[in-house]
Amino acid sequence: MKKVYIFGRGVGYSYLKKCLVNDIEIKAFIDNYAQEQVDVDGIPIINEQSICGDYDYVIVSIMSFNPIRQELIESGVPAEKIICFFDEKDADNPAYEEVIDSSKWKAELTWKYTQEVVKPTLYNLPYETNADSLLEKKEIPYVMTEEETIQEVLGAKKSLVRYGDGEFEMMLNRLRLRYQNVDEKLAARLKEIINSNDSRILIAIADNYGNLSKYTDVAANGIRQYLAPSVRAAHMEILDVSKKYGNAYVSRPYFIYKDKNPEVIRKKFNLIKKIWQDQDVIIVEGDHTRFGLGNDLLENVKSVERILVPDKDAFNKYDEILATARKYAANHLTIGIVGPTAAVLAYDLAKEGHWALDIGQLDTEYEWFLRGAEERCDVPYKTVSEYVDKKGYEEMPAELWEKYSGEIIARIEA
């Protein structure tokens, strides 16, 4: 009888469970963040540090499996003992038939592909192929290009507030963000802001509603899956098609795009960097975000100071965050990297006459660009919200730590 560990016990496991052969022993589920110690089926739940040597395979049931595979290898699990259920190459490996029924496995992956790729593509096809016509008829929102968005911010010193899927789901009282729980007050503020009309503030949304040809297949499929008919309808109830929106993907110049020509991407980042050219900058960020640290993203600023806030559920401390940011906002550009809290902060500061940007994942995108990353990956000593949660942060080089700690002017505890 083969002995296996199962990494993950969510939706992915529901697919895997149907395909496991009868003659195996599940030693435990691996879930690094579980509160309970035993699954509903009576199977133990452990973290990966508790894996012992008496096993044949670790089966990864997480759909974004590559980071998990790498994490397991780094923790000492031999690569040949790792099976990733959603890796089509693993599904073709006859050696794994001793634990997973091959025909059922391939059938489940085919069904999943149909549900998550084929059906969303067919539904979204009219919006993608008829985008110009729909835009003219005001059936989809107008979204500026990235360059137009930056020029709008630069030309009139407009503050930038960005709405991605996380902000929309927050307004719909649904949890999508890993770093911010659903909060009724936050949802109400986001609704207020997206319906506002202030010439000093540019509201930006993701360019998801029409043609997706500029995005990678993975990114486009993710957009299609998210924008199911009910979700698209909910968005359209919130949006005003008479407005011109900025492009929220201004903070994502690299990873989601097909064109990864280094010259093209470098030009995008250089244009963004013009916003803070010779500015005194205040960064409001999570405790381990460390925006622009260890790279040249902020090389052209006049000065940098940092206000550190909780990495998770920052909006719980919003009043204190706003009060602290206000103290330093005069004659400074405030850059927020705090999930949806940054959107509210940028808006409130702008209403008081200050210049503020909600800039999102720009630093992570820049780090990935510098590495030529083709898949999402970790970045040393920084939070990467779209990668796996870190259990600890790498030690920063002494010189970098001295620079960073010298920039911190305030810290707001959770």
Q: For residue range 119-137, what is the model confidence (pLDDT) as tens digits? A: 999 999 999 999 999 999 9
Averaged over 335-348, what is the pLDDT? Answer: 98
Confidence of residue 36 (pLDDT cuts 50, 70, 90): confident
Q: State how beta strands 2-7 and 57-60 pair.
A: parallel
Local structure of residue 31 (DSSP, 8 states): -
The pLDDT score that the predictor gives to residue 35 is 65
Residue 375 has pLDDT above 90, yes or no: no
Name the average pLDDT for the chain. 95
Averaged over 380-395, what is the pLDDT? Answer: 79
The pLDDT score that the predictor gives to residue 315 is 97
Tell me: the pLDDT tens digits for 305-321?
999 999 999 999 999 99
Instruction: Give the full edge-to-edge strand order of the sheet including 201-205.
Output: 142-143, 244-247, 201-205, 159-163, 355-358, 333-337, 280-286, 303-309, 408-411
In CATH terms, the fold of domain 2-108 is: Rossmann fold (3.40.50)
Confidence of residue 33 (pLDDT cuts 50, 70, 90): low
Q: State how beta strands 24-30 and 57-60 pair.
A: unpaired
- Can you give the residue ranges of every domain in the chain? 2-108, 140-411
Contacting residues for 71 by C-beta, under 8 A, at least 6 apart: 48, 388
Q: State how beta strands 408-411 and 45-46 pair.
A: unpaired
CA nearest to 63, candidates 106, 110, 101, 11: 11
Residue 216 has pLDDT above 70, yes or no: yes
How much is the pTM? 0.86
Count of CB atoms situated within 10 Å of the CB of 257: 18
CA nearest to 204, candidates 154, 256, 239: 239
The pLDDT score that the predictor gives to residue 41 is 77
Count of CB atoms situated within 10 Å of the CB of 115: 11
Tell me: the pLDDT tens digits for 64-107?
899 899 989 999 999 999 999 999 999 999 999 999 999 999 99
Residue 143 has pLDDT above 80, yes or no: yes
Q: State how beta strands 408-411 and 303-309 pair.
A: parallel
Check residues 196 and 47 and name the one with the higher pLDDT. 196
Count of CB atoms situated within 10 Å of the CB of 191: 15
